[in-house]
């Protein structure tokens, strides 16, 4: 078991994500340096909150970040924050923080697969729900419940001033952020054929993927991703997963170990508490990464 120290990061991402791996940024920096890469292109094919990539970009460790997510809502959110930040921030400033508004934003989000939804409105609705729903899960209920009687209320994770600053920083970096909406395995295959690329792959979990992600994986999706990564075992990538026999079998030829990372989880109970917990996960390393990190 490897304990990954969850140091307090820069909180670069405006989004919250269940089991978010922003605290791995330090580990990725060490890995990139050990590989001898100079300001590589960093890609997250299942980006979600993309916290680690943004922190590495802010620090100048990587030169470009590719944020890819097939979920139309997550893609719309990133696209709006990166490319239409002025209008996005206007919505952030003017939109009230109430249960009625939460319901209105949820209705916009529920239409995400319909072609008539304004991309900016969908992007902001996704952001609003992410910041005001339990653990950032878009399909979950509002923090504090509709009665707002819990210890934490709807605005517990919605500091407008701090979030504005994060979005402004993302907008400043727009020239070095590429936002795409393609199948993660296909996007990964494309970039792993390029030079000076580092990929962090954090796909939907095997056990609880359907409860955490709107774009959950079936077994065939896990197999397809493994096919791409194993075919590119001599490129630069790190993969994380929940501990599952399927994953250990698919990557039995790779360097696989368990690691433990502390993260915040919203535990429903009489006091609606936020608690700090830890969970064991799998980390899989490509051949170059494994060799670079091997003790000398």
Name residues of the chain where pLDDT drops below 70. Answer: 1-10, 18-20, 208-215, 262-279
Q: Which domain holds residue 167?
A: 2-293
Contact 112, 181 (CB under 8 A): no
- Report the pLDDT value the prediction gives residue 223, as an integer from 0 to 100: 97
- Report the pLDDT value the prediction gives residue 251, as an integer from 0 to 100: 98
Find, among 57, 50, 44, the residue nearest to 130 by Cα.
Answer: 50
Tokens matching residue 26: 């330090």
- Report the pLDDT value the prediction gives residue 77, as an integer from 0 to 100: 98
Find, among 115, 22, 126, 41, the residue nearest to 75 by Cα.
Answer: 126
What does the alpha-carbon distance between residue 6 and residue 262 come to, in Å, rounded to a whole number?
Answer: 6
pTM: 0.89
Contact 170, 85 (CB under 8 A): yes
How many domains are contained in the chain?
1
What does the alpha-carbon distance between residue 173 and residue 269 come to, in Å, rounded to a whole number?
Answer: 40
Beta strands 255-267 and 64-68 are unpaired
Contact 236, 198 (CB under 8 A): yes
Tokens matching residue 232: 């590119």
Find, among 235, 231, 283, the residue nearest to 255 by Cα.
Answer: 283
CATH number of residue 129's parent domain:
3.40.50.150
């Amino acid at each position: 078991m490897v304990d990954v120290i969850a140091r307090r990061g820069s909180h670069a991402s405006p989004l919250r994500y269940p089991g978010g791996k922003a605290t791995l940024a330090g580990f990725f920096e060490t890995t990139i340096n050990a590989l001898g890469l100079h300001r590589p292109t960093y890609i997250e094919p299942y980006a979600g909150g993309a916290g680690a990539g943004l922190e590495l970009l802010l620090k100048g460790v990587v030169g470009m970040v590719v944020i890819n997510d097939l979920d139309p809502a997550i893609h719309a959110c990133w696209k709006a924050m990166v490319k239409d930040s002025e209008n996005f921030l206007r919505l952030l400033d003017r939109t009230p923080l109430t249960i009625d508004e939460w319901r209105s934003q949820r209705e916009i989000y529920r239409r995400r697969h319909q072609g008539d939804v304004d991309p900016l409105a969908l992007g902001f609705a996704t952001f609003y729900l992410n910041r005001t729903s339990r653990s950032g899960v878009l399909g979950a209920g509002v923090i504090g419940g509709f009665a707002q009687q819990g210890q934490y209320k709807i605005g517990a994770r919605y500091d407008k001033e701090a979030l504005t600053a994060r979005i402004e920083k993302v907008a400043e970096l727009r020239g070095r952020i590429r936002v795409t909406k393609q199948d993660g395995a296909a996007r990964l295959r494309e970039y792993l054929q390029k030079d000076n690329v580092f990929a962090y792959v954090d796909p939907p979990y095997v056990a609880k993927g359907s409860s955490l992600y709107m774009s959950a994986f079936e077994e065939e999706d896990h197999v397809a991703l493994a096919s791409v990564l194993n075919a590119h075992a001599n490129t630069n990538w790190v993969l994380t997963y929940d501990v599952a026999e399927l994953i250990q079998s698919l990557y039995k030829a790779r360097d696989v170990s368990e690691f433990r990372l502390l993260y915040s989880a919203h535990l429903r109970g009489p006091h609606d508490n936020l608690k700090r917990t830890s969970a064991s996960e799998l980390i899989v390393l490509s051949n170059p990464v494994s060799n670079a990190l091997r003790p000398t």
